Structure 1
Amino acid sequence: MAVLGLGRSGLSASRALREGGAEPLCWDDSPEARARAEAEGFAVRDLARAGGFEGVRWLVVSPGIPHLYPAPNPVIAAAWEAGVPVDNDIGLFFRSFGSGDWAMFDQPPKVIAVTGSNGKSTTSALIHHILQSAGRDCQLAGNIGRGVLDIDPPADGGAVVLELSSYQTDLARALTPDVAVFTNLSPDHLDRHGGMGGYFAAKRRLFAEGGPDRCIVGVDEPEGRYLVNQLSEAPEDDRVIRVSSGRKLSGPGWDIFARKGFLTEWRKGRQMASIDLREVRGLPGAHNHQNACAAYAAARALGIAPRVIERALHSFEGLPHRSQIVAEAGGITYVNDSKATNVDAALKALQAFPRIRWVCGGLMKEGGLKALAPGFANVAKAYVIGREAAGFALGLADLEAEVCTDMGTAVRRAMSEAQPGEVVLLAPAAASFDQYDNFEKRGEDFAAHVRTALGLQTGL
């Protein structure tokens, strides 16, 4: 069993394969990664060379490695030529999930898989939090939490919540969740998927490949409405739960929507429950209300009562770098939304607060910044960071913008001009790689500058 890519998921897959009796053959372009694998006793082989796949039955690929667009990795192309099936750790997980012990369980464990463009991590973490609050044995894995092959064997009646990116759903040869969640869709990773159609197709595989028992689909974009239509057998088919933020849904099926700060559940033409989300501190803004609806739907699909879910929503503290309140002082709130790496996510953050001092900028993605315009009414001023800060500022139309370049300058300027009642918000609308290793490092830097200036502890 060959393994390509020796980061977290690759090493985890290698360990799991060895434990299961296979002989992993590992490869990574990085000498340091190969050295780490060898230190754990794994054999290393350059799989792209002639004869690299001799004796190999399967190739497991880490999610960051392109397998088709913009060009196939040479090792994957060699696997094709050798007739070796290509898979990833998610596919291995679904193929191997389950054991003989399950025959003694009263309730087989469930897998809830969450995908979409924005809100996957918050939705996944919130489902996990609700299930734990309800007393259910639950583990969080995939793109968040533990690697899928590192989790513990699930208990009787337990659950595994997986956050899955398009990179993971696109290649997995097995995708069989009990409950599948599609949050929303906006342009992202388009080079990796050959355009928007390929990107949506990668997400759609979660629903098309394994036939989940229950599908939860955000219908605020055409792709979501298309997916619902493909999955439903009739208008009253409540195996599909429609989710929306901002508009009322109606019909004979199962609908959950948030409007004017209230989450409402309708089923078979009747209102089943309503929750006031306005005071749920860990879920500010319409985008988080959409996440709440999706998580609520998943919990209801597993039989959790509405009041139990409501209590869990109020105790949810949110995730780092996703609408995370890092400090409050002098009537000013400081919010770290470093995960808003694309325009759609940043727009949702801008629409979540009424008056904003906006720290933004970084490595811009395709499509420009025009789609941010509906959120500009909430922005008092922008403070732009990044190596191309001047160019980014020019894309903000008539919005007052100050080129700051580095995070420290941007935070100091925003704090000096902020007034009581305002929010100093980091929502970059761009990738972090021009200045930081990842969005987490960027968010930590923002929080550290804020807390230093306020004389608070700098740790997240």
Structure 2
Amino acid sequence: MIPVRGYEGRRVGVLGLGRSGLAAAHALEEGGAEVLCWDDGAEAREAAARQALTVVDLSKQGALEDLAALIVSPGIPHLYPAPNRVIAAAWDAGVPVDNDIGLFFQSFATEDWARFDVEPRVVAVTGSNGKSTTSALIAHVLEHAQRPVQLAGNIGRGVLDIDPAEDGGVVVLELSSYQTDLARALTPDVAVFTNLSADHLDRHGGMGGYFAAKRRLFAEGGPDRAVVGVDEAEGRYLANQLTHGPSDDRVIRVSSGVKLAGPGWNVFARKGFLAETRKGRQVGAIDLRPVKGLPGAHNHQNACAAYAVCRSLGLAPKVIEQAFSSFAGLPHRSQLVAERDGVAYVNDSKATNAESAAQALQAFKNIRWIAGGLGKEGGIASLAPHLGAVKKAYLIGHSAREFALQLGDTPHEVCETMGQAVARAAEEAEAGDTVLLAPAAASFDQYPDFEKRGEAFMAEVEGV
């Protein structure tokens, strides 16, 4: 646990008692604060009380008096589409609002670091797609290189639940826009921007607000090194904002599909080959095609970002290449779950929007595509250019019929349930086909989260 510093003997409110909220409450108490907790859900309040935390209704008149800060869980809206009533009351009372990410950056470094031979480092990864794979891949490479590493944030453990820093240790944080948007301290040593596509727009008041939330990771603390995906205009803008000139190697530009040139530090992948260039010369290369855990151009972009981070931390290209070859991928993200009679079954349940599904559809051939769920604005209309490899679509969930109307001439069948979709796809599949779950939709119509949806797919595949 990371004891939170700066609130000794002071009262601090914690709003939202999920994983991050509970960890924040305990870390604040460990640092000497008096913590008052609240959640609108009775079950969450009862769980906090069982952990000996003080539960107080922070929405009541006068509950925020004398609070030094209000710590808010990431799922609670603080501005759009409307601020939570407790947060609005904190504004009116002049109580600073923060989150666990801000507390982490405020508290992680301690006086003990003076005795370390190698100062600990923090790598923070944000972006629309690929955050989890990139973060996990960085951690995997560092473990392979026998560097002390902890994976936390939106993946792995809560940021305040990790162990205190050790000599030469690296903390890899996956951070969502919900987390970067509110944190009052954001000071990673290395910051990563993977890419940007439309998501969470209601929470951020539109695309501009969404990008602004991501950009805070780079603007607030000024990382020593920035790894920036430049395949979208926002990434190119961000890289330009951070650089002091063409040869400024504090910014490492990353691309999948575009050969990057110039005197700066570049890492790009084309046709399955990763290349690193500095001062206009190639200094490293990896053939990504044999790496089963990183299929498709979108994973090659993740590989480029992870490679750039690990190079900035001093690892040699050969060490990174060896680690890549043993990376198995993450559950629910282009995860190969079975191969039967020449048919591959791939679980990409994390593809909860059209952009993510497009990446999966470009990673495989001869696809029997299982899609659907609780569709997002626009449905799958934007996927029309990416359906060339789809032999047939099997549609499930709330948006099945809406998706069917958007598929045009692509063969499809409304199956409604996962069981029926897997059974029909398996029945019609031929050797060389890939049965791909890439829903392009949220899971909440049939499942509590994308993980449960992916587990349901794997269970049905097991029975084929």
| TM-score normalised according to structure 2 size | 0.97
- Tell me how far apart the structure 2 counterparts of residues 434 and 274 of structure 1 sit (CA, whole Å): 44
Match of 1:363 in 2: 374
Q: CA deviation at 1:268?
A: 0.6
1:6 aligns with 2:17: yes
1:237 aligns with 2:248: yes
- 1:313-342 alpha-carbon deviations (Å, 9 max, x no partner): 000000000000000010000000000001
Pairing 1:283-322 to 2, within 5 Å after superposition: 283-322=294-333
Match of 2:170 in 1: 159
1:89 aligns with 2:112: no
- Tell me how far apart the structure 1 counterparts of residues 66 and 143 of structure 2 sit (CA, whole Å): 45
Pairing 1:382-393 to 2, within 5 Å after superposition: 382-393=393-404
Pairing 1:31-430 to 2, within 5 Å after superposition: 31-430=42-441
SS in 1 for 2:142: helix
Are the counterparts in 1 of residues 108 and 165 from structure 2 also a CA contact under 8 Å? Answer: no
SS in 2 for 1:24: strand
What is the one-letter code of the residue matched to 2:242? L
- Tell me how far apart the structure 2 counterparts of residues 396 and 226 of structure 1 sit (CA, whole Å): 34
- Tell me how far apart the structure 2 counterparts of residues 21 and 50 of structure 1 sit (CA, whole Å): 26
- Tell me how far apart the structure 2 counterparts of residues 30 and 103 of structure 1 sit (CA, whole Å): 44
- Tell me how far apart the structure 2 counterparts of residues 210 and 120 of structure 1 sit (CA, whole Å): 20
- 1:187-241 alpha-carbon deviations (Å, 9 max, x no partner): 0000000000000000000000000000000000000000011000001101000
Q: What's the C-alpha RMSD, in Å, of the aligned pairs?
A: 0.6
Match of 1:458 in 2: none
- Tell me how far apart the structure 1 counterparts of residues 238 and 141 of structure 2 sit (CA, whole Å): 26
- Tell me how far apart the structure 2 counterparts of residues 209 and 187 of structure 1 sit (CA, whole Å): 23
Q: CA deviation at 1:387?
A: 2.3
Are the counterparts in 1 of residues 257 and 268 from structure 2 also a CA contact under 8 Å? Answer: yes
- Tell me how far apart the structure 2 counterparts of residues 412 and 294 of structure 1 sit (CA, whole Å): 38
- Tell me how far apart the structure 1 counterparts of residues 253 and 378 of structure 2 sit (CA, whole Å): 29
- Tell me how far apart the structure 2 counterparts of residues 360 and 370 of structure 1 sit (CA, whole Å): 13
- Most deviating of 40-49 and 343-352: 40-49
What is the one-letter code of the residue matched to 1:60? I
- Tell me how far apart the structure 1 counterparts of residues 219 and 139 of structure 2 sit (CA, whole Å): 24
What is the one-letter code of the residue matched to 1:219? V
Q: CA deviation at 1:56?
A: 1.0
Match of 1:435 in 2: 446
Are the counterparts in 1 of residues 379 and 402 from structure 2 also a CA contact under 8 Å? Answer: no
Q: CA deviation at 1:372?
A: 0.8
- 1:129-161 alpha-carbon deviations (Å, 9 max, x no partner): 001111100000000000000101121011000
- Runs of 4+ off more than 4 Å: none
- Most deviating of 359-368 and 3-12: 359-368
SS in 2 for 1:354: coil
- Tell me how far apart the structure 2 counterparts of residues 114 and 398 of structure 1 sit (CA, whole Å): 39
- Most deviating of 37-46 and 1-10: 37-46
Match of 1:456 in 2: none
- Tell me how far apart the structure 2 counterparts of residues 255 and 158 of structure 1 sit (CA, whole Å): 26
Q: Which runs of 5+ in 2 are unaligned?
A: 1-11
SS in 2 for 1:230: helix
- Tell me how far apart the structure 2 counterparts of residues 98 and 70 of structure 1 sit (CA, whole Å): 35
- Tell me how far apart the structure 1 counterparts of residues 127 and 310 of structure 2 sit (CA, whole Å): 18
- Tell me how far apart the structure 2 counterparts of residues 393 and 60 of structure 1 sit (CA, whole Å): 44
SS in 2 for 1:436: coil
- Tell me how far apart the structure 2 counterparts of residues 40 and 185 of structure 1 sit (CA, whole Å): 39
SS in 1 for 2:403: helix
SS in 2 for 1:3: strand
What is the one-letter code of the residue matched to 1:366? E
Q: CA deviation at 1:41?
A: 1.4
- Tell me how far apart the structure 1 counterparts of residues 263 and 86 of structure 2 sit (CA, whole Å): 50
| TM-score normalised according to structure 1 size | 0.98
- Most deviating of 83-92 and 32-41: 32-41
- Tell me how far apart the structure 2 counterparts of residues 397 and 3 of structure 1 sit (CA, whole Å): 50
Q: CA deviation at 1:12?
A: 0.4
What is the one-letter code of the residue matched to 1:442? R
- Tell me how far apart the structure 2 counterparts of residues 161 and 177 of structure 1 sit (CA, whole Å): 10
Match of 2:8 in 1: none
SS in 2 for 1:187: coil
- Tell me how far apart the structure 2 counterparts of residues 201 and 10 of structure 1 sit (CA, whole Å): 24
- 1:364-401 alpha-carbon deviations (Å, 9 max, x no partner): 11233222112100100000000231112112222111
- 1:344-381 alpha-carbon deviations (Å, 9 max, x no partner): 10000000001100000011112332221121001000
- Tell me how far apart the structure 2 counterparts of residues 154 and 325 of structure 1 sit (CA, whole Å): 35
- Tell me how far apart the structure 2 counterparts of residues 370 and 298 of structure 1 sit (CA, whole Å): 35
Q: CA deviation at 1:49?
A: 1.5
SS in 2 for 1:57: strand
What is the one-letter code of the residue matched to 2:258? R
Identity of aligned residues (%): 72
SS in 2 for 1:243: strand
SS in 2 for 1:252: coil
- Tell me how far apart the structure 2 counterparts of residues 322 and 381 of structure 1 sit (CA, whole Å): 21
Count of aligned positions: 453
Q: CA deviation at 1:61?
A: 0.3
- Tell me how far apart the structure 1 counterparts of residues 339 and 379 of structure 2 sit (CA, whole Å): 32
- Tell me how far apart the structure 2 counterparts of residues 208 and 292 of structure 1 sit (CA, whole Å): 25
- Tell me how far apart the structure 2 counterparts of residues 389 and 369 of structure 1 sit (CA, whole Å): 11
SS in 1 for 2:24: helix
Q: Which runs of 5+ in 1 are unaligned?
A: 454-460
- 1:236-275 alpha-carbon deviations (Å, 9 max, x no partner): 1010000000110000000000001000000011000110
